[in-house]
Amino acid sequence: MLGIASIIPMDDANIAGIGFLVLIPLALVTLISVPTGIYFSFMLRKDAVLPLLSVLTIFVLAEVVTEAGSATFYEATIGAYGIIVMVIEANWFLLRRRRTYPT
């Protein structure tokens, strides 16, 4: 992909085409996958962490869409969400995975 991107001259028409052909389909997939993931995290949960991650995702999406707070709050929300998700996932991978799926 990087080799193709270096060959294509980046003018306004090419950027618009890339946005139309790549970014809009990715946004549409996100609009479908996020609600589906939230639904399945509550319906098929085996661990309490999945609903927690879903609730955090809903809060972050609400903040991103509405931009209710200041710019500092917005940046802190995104940063805190990333750190919390990384800690929860690392905790599962390093500690709780063996209890969930015994070998």
User: 46-103 pLDDT, tens per residue?
Assistant: 777 888 888 888 888 888 888 887 888 888 888 999 999 999 888 888 887 776 666 5
| Number of folded domains that form the chain | 2
Those residues with Cβ within 8 angstroms of residue 67's Cβ, 6 or more apart along the chain or in another chain? 74
Same domain, residue pair 61 and 93: yes
In order of 3, 51, 74, 101, 103, the CA distances from 30 in angstroms are 27, 18, 21, 29, 34
Q: Nearest-CA neighbor of 60 among 47, 43, 73?
A: 73
pLDDT given for residue 9 in this prediction: 67
Same domain, residue pair 100 and 73: yes
Residue 99 near residue 92 (C-beta atoms within 8 A): no
- Supply the DSSP symbol for 101: S
Same domain, residue pair 58 and 35: no
Residue 69 near residue 63 (C-beta atoms within 8 A): yes
Chain-centroid distance of CA 70 in Å reads: 22
Same domain, residue pair 2 and 34: yes
Give the structural domain span for 9. Answer: 1-44
Same domain, residue pair 34 and 70: no
Residues 40-48 have a mean pLDDT of: 80
